[in-house]
Amino acid sequence: MKTIKTANYIKISKTQKEKKDFFYKRLNNHIKQVKNFAKKIVDKYPEYKKLLDQVKNHDDSKFKEPELTPYIELTWAKKEGKNSSTKEMNDATEYHVKHNSHHPEYHVKDKEDISIDAENRDKLNKCVDVNGMDDISIAEMIADWQAVSEELKTNTAREWYNDTKDVRWSFSKKQEKLIDKLLKVFEDN
């Protein structure tokens, strides 16, 4: 395998560079989409204008460790259609959701209640109560869900919500109404 020198004179394989480049392209596109969807929310509901400030830093933690390297590998594995569940990737995902306010797990009082299952990194071991999640973070979450939905084309943001509500997360009735209202921004065209 061919190696190249980076600006820091660190030798990396061509494949590693390709993985890293693919990750940055994919993540930057995702962030751009989240910002576009946040703008759509604010255009319809100007009372959420603080959302535009909050999404300026959307997923910034993925650009540095302990998330960067595992997310590069996770993104590449998904591109290749391979199993992406490793302890390192699960640890990075757990770290990410605990440190980013657009994820419901960030708002859980006892962070020890959050444990990403190593066999299925997208499922928690138990349903967690996220009643403390604020409206702006909920709006960012919806923009994030919409971006992922459009990227993966596996289900809609509404389907994702219906599949995870009261299974992965427990929202208050007020939060459920807000989520429903914000999801309709992308359904009422």
Binned at pLDDT 50, 70 and 90, residue 13 comes out as low
Beta-strand pair 3-5/11-13: antiparallel
Report pLDDT digits (tens) over 88-139. Answer: 888 898 899 989 999 998 998 777 767 666 555 455 557 788 889 999 999 9
> Can you give the residue ranges of every domain in the chain?
35-187
Report how far residue 49's alpha carbon sits from residue 32's, in angstroms, rounded to the nearest whole number. Answer: 17
Question: What's the pTM value of the predicted model, to 2 decimals?
Answer: 0.86
Report pLDDT digits (tens) over 27-50. Answer: 999 999 999 999 999 999 999 999
Q: Which among 64, 125, 72, 119 has a CA at the least distance from the CA of 95?
A: 64
